[in-house]
Structure 1
């Protein structure tokens, strides 16, 4: 049951990220996008930078429309570990820009889930493939 919940969250979040960074999403979509992430969110970027929620917020605030034509494809989804209130999942993310540039990254995400099945991103580690 929960596996599909986490998979859907990964897919839905990346749809929103794609729309935001490509510029397809209107400005009022920023708050719901940021609400997906816990305030204690942390991230290791593909280049090794350590980021917190404030960094993520600043990145999205300044990133609207910064990646024209962005397309994101998610595959290779797997549950690494799951427990009553969360999970660790892995997936592969392929990004392609309108100008033909592309990259692939392997990602591991930690999620929390409350009694109402609301999922929050707590940690994300991305590595370029």
Structure 2
């Protein structure tokens, strides 16, 4: 498997964990902990509305949102490797979300990965923008 597939696989599996947690499919505190372990302690994010979050803010967000979006469906497409180096990579993708009875949303996202000394991947930065 080439390195770009490792990043793409991580985007996809991270979003499965997010969907399971937010939809209430997974409710064990260990699930939230496993999800949060994918993010660097130095993590930063810009949400589609322009709000900035750090790791503490992301932790509070996920811990408070478990099960808050029953029926949530998510789909990821257009994965693109923008840059890759020994230190990590930058990947962009398109994210679609839907909830029963609600308007579907679409966002364009870019994640910056950092590699740990043992070769693990951590989300270092995420920037999301509402798709036009």
Aligned partners of 1:102, 1:116: CA distance in 2, in Å? 39
Per-residue deviation, 1:85: 1.8
User: 1:4 is matched with which residue?
Assistant: 5
User: 2:42 is matched with which residue?
Assistant: 40
Runs of 4+ in 1 over 4 A off after TM superposition: none
Q: Which ranges of structure 2 fall in alignment gaps of 5 or more residues?
A: none
User: 1:19 is matched with which residue?
Assistant: 20
The RMSD of aligned alpha carbons is 1.0
Aligned partners of 1:35, 1:108: CA distance in 2, in Å? 19
Q: Report the 3-state secondary structure (helix = DSSP H, G, I; strand = E; otherwise coil) of the residue aligned with 2:79.
A: strand
Aligned ranges for residues 44-55 of structure 1 at < 5 Å? 44-55=46-57
User: 1:119 is matched with which residue?
Assistant: 121
Aligned partners of 2:85, 2:58: CA distance in 1, in Å? 26
Aligned partners of 2:63, 2:27: CA distance in 1, in Å? 12
User: 2:111 is matched with which residue?
Assistant: 109
Aligned ranges for residues 59-70 of structure 1 at < 5 Å? 59-70=61-72
User: 2:100 is matched with which residue?
Assistant: 98
Q: Among 55, 78, 81, which residue is 1:79 paired with? A: 81
Q: Which ranges of structure 1 fall in alignment gaps of 5 or more residues?
A: none
Instruction: Tell me if the contact between 2:93 and 2:109 (Cα under 8 Å) persists in the aligned partners.
Output: yes
Aligned residues: 129
Aligned partners of 1:115, 1:73: CA distance in 2, in Å? 31
Instruction: Give the structure-1-normalised TM-score.
Output: 0.96
Aligned partners of 1:100, 1:53: CA distance in 2, in Å? 29
